[in-house]
Structure formats: C-alpha cells, structure tokens
C-alpha cells in the first residue's frame, strides 16, 4: 500500500513540475536539496554526540 501511495505522490509531483516554469522548478529543487543536506548534517552530528 505504501508503494502505491509513493508512486501516486511521485506522479502528482512530476505532473506539477511539468506545468511550472524552469525557474520555479529549479528554485524548488534547490530548496529541497538544502533541506535534505541540513537534515543529513544534523543527523550525522547527532550520531557523533551520542
């Protein structure tokens, strides 16, 4: 069931990305990448501390 929801979510996001301008899509991609990078750094620091 979760795979179906994941595929549905990806389809919705890809459809939305196809209807936006390249600038908006690029800015959104940069924002998501920055959020993922911050999350990864926070998790790595948390594991080193304890």
Segment 3-31, tens digit of pLDDT? 899 888 888 878 877 788 889 888 988 99
Where in the chain are the domains? 20-50
The reported pLDDT for the residue numbered 43 is: 94
* Average pLDDT estimate for 18-47: 91
Q: Which one is predicted more confidently, 34 or 3?
A: 34
The reported pLDDT for the residue numbered 13 is: 79
Cα separation, 13 vs 35, whole angstroms: 17
Chain Cα centroid distance, residue 5:
16
């Amino acid at each position: 069931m979760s795979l179906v929801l994941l595929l549905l979510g990806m389809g919705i996001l890809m459809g939305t990305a196809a209807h936006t301008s390249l600038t908006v899509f690029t800015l959104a991609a940069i924002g998501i990448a920055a959020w993922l990078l911050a999350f990864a750094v926070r998790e790595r620091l948390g594991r080193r501390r304890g």
